[in-house]
Structure 1
Amino acid sequence: MSYITGTGLTPYGKHEGRSSLDLMSMAAQLALDDAGLRRADIDGILCGYSTVSPHIMLATVFAEHFGIKPSYAHAVQVGGATGLAMTMLAHHLVEAGVARHVLVVGGENRLTGQSRDASIQALAQVGHPDYEVPLGPTIPAYYGLVASRYMHDYGVTQQDLAEFAVLMRTHALSHPGAQFHEPISVADVMASKPVALPLKLLDCCPVSDGGAACIVSREPIGDTQVKVRGCAQAHTHQHITAAPALSELGAEIAIAKAREASGLSISDVRYAAVYDSFTITLAMLLEDLGLAGRGEAAAQVRAGYFNRDGAVPLNTHGGLLSYGHCGVGGAMAHLAEAHLQMTGRAGARQVRDATITLLHGDGGVLSSHVSMFLERVR
């Protein structure tokens, strides 16, 4: 058994003069303050990667920078799924008695600390070195290919995908830390410049600076308790040329195993925090997870199902698409928002009921998946 006892989240966007370690430290201190813990209480550290500061021992470099001496330290790399993968590992560590309080942290100055060319080059390495990288595709290009196939198979349109960008921007408007605060419409998404057809600029998450952290503890702290109820992973491929059929991707495998581990079903979910690097990512994952039928997620968005006052509120901070994406910290913002919602501290964004939350992270090109259920037990 483990508990999320604290979370920390910086604003996303530009943080001029801040390094990855600085942003991670900011988020880590916010998480400690949230949990009411001191740095000396932390005996485990799990750290995500940074493309701007690709140190081979980033976890211990951060521990030194932050002034802690943990008995357990580990760095994790599974792309956008890293934040939840680290949280899952922390859950297992405290259950096994290896550590009492594990600090999970990710952050990066990807917007101000890295040139556009360097960022593209770093992210292009997700491709196969022989069969994909030499042809010059970018991450948006891979997802553009996936989107084209998905649209063909399920009758989804570009306007359907645009609905997800509008929803995320609408949610971001009420969060002061979001990178974007200008409202957009479906027409705005359709009019934005092409990036990797059928994906337009507003179908894609931005590049951001920022940091996020959480603390996973063996015992609860405070009156409101958020328990990790069950979690699971699935890794079906690394390169898109080796990917299975769209109907056999890892999200379905991970969620099935997480349901079994937690004893919960999708109908129990009251709040959802789902990875949304692109509009197609969010559309597909909602359907793969069972939150919508095949090809039906956009219709549910239009019907208000995922609104803040809808049946299953989704990414009420604005998600990667509008809160921002700073690498590992990008998806960890979903966890921070979920924790606020579950503990009744989301202010104007507060939903009616977040007692059972489903989180899902995706790494690579729908390659690595982590599903996790959280429960508010008091």
Structure 2
Amino acid sequence: MTLSGKCVIAGIGATAFGKHPGRSSVSLNVEAIRAALADAGVEKGQVDALFVKPPTSDFQMLYTVKVASALGIRTRMGGAWDQGGAANATLISIACMAIEAGQIDVAVVSFADTPRTGNAAVYARPRGDDSLYGWFGTLPGYAMIMQRHMGVHGTPREAFGEIAVAARRHGAANPKAQVRNPLSMADYMAADPLVAPLTRDDCTLISDGGGAVVVMSARRAAELGVAAPVPILGWGYGQTYEEVTYRADLTTTMATVSGATALGMAGLTPERVECVQLYDCFTIAALMTLEDYGFCRKGQAADFVKDGALQLDGALPFNTSGGLLSETGMPGMQLIHEGVRQMRGTSVNQVRGARNVVISNQGGVMQTHSTLVLGQ
């Protein structure tokens, strides 16, 4: 029995993105959840499940209990899920399965963090034994993968520039984006490397903020008169245990499994997808996801993305609110929100006639991956 379309995202809510000095991640979660409940038209007393991605910069035990206590709710189910940036999409699918099993009725999924004004040290942590040889922080792993893709497939820097330029163009039109200045290809190509070949324009923002969604069955949404429910058509996961230095192939990820599972559940092929919101913590991540999801063959992404194909008026509109490169570095939830807006027809960069959207979330250095497909 398929679960495609049985559940919906009934509401979305977020804080402002950027800097929140003095705010706790718990308080940002509460703000985002209240906004999502108001968007869905649901009272907090109707929530019987709370699933939270723990803050990356300040991991805490029993974190969901703290958020529930601050909200003043008791739930039948709850928990925190650590899958890095892949967690938000995964938690939405877990909520769907619990709803279909009859264990819960209305679920909230949320995430908030304060690495911009709090503690960003987690992004600079040493990477196992390789730290003895200078492997610190997140950038070296992605730089190595990007260098390998360029070497094996002859991928030019301009291909990554197409991703950065599209994200920044869309973010420039989004009044809530953290970075709103557009980027030209000339400026992208002229930038100095941070960790070669990565430049600043290839890398995610670091942001404070929070976001939440309300999930329920389509039947329950109809009973409650939810104004704009968005059906969840499919989901999938993929995960590897390997650190970058131990992988046999640096140019393919478990997004191949996650994407194929989600599209299969939704009854879609890549050719029928009309809009994508792809995890762009680094441009190489988004480019490889395009390949691994089957939008183009491995090594052919440079041809696929050229000439503005990812921009709003292109063949496959991408990260229409700006993504992690322009809207906010808050991992994953902002992409889900924009997918919902596209299906509601309320995006500031609305894709005309879009009836489905594929969303990717990713964690670690391409170690975890989750996919959502939304429809109308």
Same fold (TM over 0.5): yes
Q: Deviations over 1:253-296 (max 9, x none)?
A: 11122233222211221111110000111111111111233333
Mapping for residues 165-244 of structure 1, pairs under 5 Å: 165-219=164-218, 220-221=221-222, 222-244=226-248
Aligned in 2, Cα 1:54/1:133: closer, same or farther, shift over 3 Å? farther
8 Å Cα contact 1:45-1:72 kept in structure 2: yes
Match of 2:44 in 1: 39
- Structure 2 gaps of 5+ residues are 1-5
1:250 aligns with 2:254: yes
Identity over aligned residues, as a percent? 32
Q: Normalized against structure 2, the TM-score is what? A: 0.92
Q: 1:259 maps to which residue?
A: 263
Q: Is the 8 A contact 2:244 2:250 kept in 1?
A: no
Alignment of 1:120-159 (within 5 A): 120-121=123-124, 124=125, 127=127, 129-131=128-130, 135-159=134-158
Q: Within 2, Cα distance between the matches of 1:234 and 1:277?
A: 17
Cross-structure match for 1:75:
80
Q: TM-score, normalised by structure 1?
A: 0.91
Distance 1:246 1:353, change over 3 A: farther
1:304 shift after superposition: 3.0
What CA deviation, in whole Å up to 9, does each residue of 1:95-135 have, x standing for no partner?
11111111000011110112x5x2434xx36x3x3345764
CA distance in 1, matches of 2:252, 2:158: 25
SS in 2 for 1:349: coil
Q: Is the contact made by 2:162 and 2:308 (CA closer than 8 Å) also made in structure 1?
A: no
- Distance in 2 (CA, whole Å) between partners of 1:292 and 1:8 is 34
Aligned length: 366
Match of 1:354 in 2: 354
Q: Is the 8 A contact 1:362 1:370 kept in 2?
A: yes
What is the letter of the counterpart of residue 367 of structure 1? Q
Residues in 2 aligned to 1:99 and 1:268: alpha-carbon distance in whole angstroms: 33
Alignment partner, residue 107 of structure 1: 112
Say whether the 8 Å CA contact 1:275–1:361 is kept in structure 2: yes
Matched to 1:351, the amino acid is V
Query: Match for 2:11 among 6, 18, 33?
Result: 6
For residue 323 of structure 1, what is the aligned residue in structure 2? 327
User: Is the contact made by 1:168 and 1:316 (CA closer than 8 Å) also made in structure 2?
Assistant: yes
Q: Which residue identity does 2:143 align to in structure 1?
A: G
* Structure 1 residues 93 and 160: alpha-carbon distance in aligned structure 2, compared to 1, 3 A threshold: same
Q: In the alignment, is the contact (CA less than 8 A) between 1:167 and 1:301 conserved in 2? A: no
For 1:92 and 1:164, locate their aligned partners in 2 and report how far apart those are by CA, in whole Å. Answer: 34
**2:159/2:306 contact within 8 Å kept:** no
CA distance in 1 between counterparts of 2:132 and 2:25 reads 27
- Report the secondary structure of 1:80's partner residue: coil
Q: Which moved more, 1:74-83 or 1:291-300?
A: 291-300
CA shift digits 1:45-96 (9 cap, x unpaired): 0001113332111111111112211110110011111111111111111111
Bigger shift: residues 241-250 or 352-361: 241-250
Q: Which residue identity lines up with residue 83 of structure 1 in the other structure?
A: N
Tell me the residue number matched to 1:296.
300
Q: What secondary structure does 2:308 align onto?
A: coil
Q: Distance in 2 between matches of 1:162 and 1:278?
A: 11
Judged with a 3 Å threshold, the aligned counterparts in structure 2 of structure 1 residues 133 and 177 are, in CA distance, closer, same or farther, namely: farther
Give CA-to-partner distance per residue, 1:113-170, whole Å, 9 cap, x none: 12x5x2434xx36x3x334576433211100000000001111122321221111000
| CA distance in structure 2 between the aligned counterparts of 1:173 and 1:281, rounded to whole angstroms | 22
8 Å contact kept, 1:233–1:371:
yes
Residues 94 and 217 of structure 1 are in contact (CA less than 8 Å); yes or no, is this contact kept in structure 2?
yes
What per-residue deviation string (whole Å, max 9, x for no partner) do you get for residues 319-374 of structure 1? 00111213xxx21100001101101112x311112311111111111111112211
In structure 1, what is the Cα distance between the partners aligned to 2:310 and 2:23?
35
